[in-house]
Amino acid sequence: MSEQTMQALDAVHAPRPPAPQPGSVRERTALAAAARRRRSIPWGRGLLIAAVLAYLAIVLILPLAALVTRALAEGPADLARALTSPGALAGLWHSVIVVALALLFNGTLGVAGAIVLVRHRFWGRRVLDLLVDLPLAVSPVMVGLAFLLVFGRGGWLRPATDALGMQVAFAFTGVVLVTLFVTLPYTIREVGYVLAELGTAEEEVAATLGATPWQTFRRVTLPNVRNALGAGLTLTAARALGEFGAAVVVGGAISGRTQTATTYIYGEMEARNTAGAYGMALLLAIVSTVLLLVLRRAESKRKR
């Protein structure tokens, strides 16, 4: 038998160190350390959850609960009377028109803008891509002031609007324009993310098979971005419905002319008509909640 074989047999039959017996100092130390770790993880997680819940309660849950409670305290009769007043109905109707126009323009130009930014390369594309997110960064009040400098008295485009017989400042047209500005990024970004993720393989196959650009868009691109388009339009509707700062600066919140639902709330609070203000706020909160549920459903479909 060789020397290497003898060494291997000796290694196999060599006595092994005894395993730690139950109750030994080493085992008790290991068990105590594991127990400390198990106790420390839930404690830290519980503290984190408590901090997040406290933050959400202060900035989200408590204000919404107070709004609902205060609105219901006015009584159903007073709320119905306030919401059916001419001023409230006019404000609601103007908000509906603004939201509808925002959906129309963002649904068409938003998809086109996403295709241009994702599918095409041209000089200045990076700058344009950066400017698309600008409405998310600037204050709506500043936006309203900027539109006044363009379309107000002595504005850059005031001679052109006067020649066309169109008024923008302190008119409903101005409210629509500033709403289009603040809602610009949502559809473009939602659709753009999906287009970038999908790539161009399916569109190239359709073009190879002889499809025209319109047929490729209608039968390939549009079905692929349908859920993203729905999510973007839902965000657009929610943002347009809640717009206040730019609308009040450009439109002036003129009752029956430029007043929307949000500026109606502001006017009723100034007039100490709490039933009208809280009733409209509660109605907008309900509509926003419905839009949120629609958005979550659209996101679930897009993930599937």
For residue 253, give the amino acid letter.
A
Q: Is 150 domain-assigned?
A: yes
Token duo for residue 288: 């926003």
pLDDT at 303: 67
What secondary structure letter does DSSP report for 139? -
- Residues 104, 115: one domain? yes
Contact 189/232 with Cβ under 8 angstroms?
Answer: yes
Gyration radius from the chain CA atoms? 31
What secondary structure letter does DSSP report for 218? I
Q: Name 178's Cβ contacts closer than 8 Å, sequence gap at least 6.
A: 140, 143, 144, 147, 243, 246, 247, 249, 250
170: left (phi over 0), alpha (psi -120 to 50) or beta: left
Q: Is 168 domain-assigned?
A: yes
Contact 276/268 with Cβ under 8 angstroms?
Answer: yes
- Residues 229, 120: one domain? yes
Q: Is 2 domain-assigned?
A: no
- Residues 98, 244: one domain? yes
Each residue of 102-128: b (16+ CB within 10 Å) or e?
Answer: bbebbbeebbebbbbbbeeeeeeeeee
- Residues 277, 191: one domain? yes
pLDDT at 233: 92
pLDDT at 115: 93
By residue range, what is the domain housing residue 42? 22-73
- Residues 140, 237: one domain? yes
- Residues 40, 125: one domain? no
Q: Is 12 domain-assigned?
A: no
What secondary structure letter does DSSP report for 17? P
Q: Is 14 domain-assigned?
A: no
- Residues 66, 107: one domain? no
CATH (domain of 98): 1.10.3720.10
pLDDT at 90: 93
Counting the structural domains of the chain, the total is 2
Contact 203/216 with Cβ under 8 angstroms?
Answer: yes
- Residues 119, 183: one domain? yes
pLDDT tens track of the chain, all 304 residues?
A: 445 544 444 544 445 555 444 455 566 666 666 666 555 556 677 788 888 999 999 988 898 899 889 888 888 888 888 889 999 999 999 999 999 999 999 999 999 999 999 988 889 889 999 999 999 999 999 999 999 999 988 889 999 998 988 999 999 999 999 999 999 999 999 999 999 988 888 888 888 888 888 988 889 999 999 888 988 999 999 999 999 999 999 998 888 899 999 999 999 988 888 888 999 999 998 998 888 888 887 677 666 6
Q: How many residues does the chain have?
A: 304
- Residues 51, 104: one domain? no
C-alpha to C-alpha distance for 117 and 184, rounded to whole angstroms:
14
Q: Is the pTM of this model over 0.75?
A: yes
Q: Is 226 domain-assigned?
A: yes
- Residues 30, 117: one domain? no
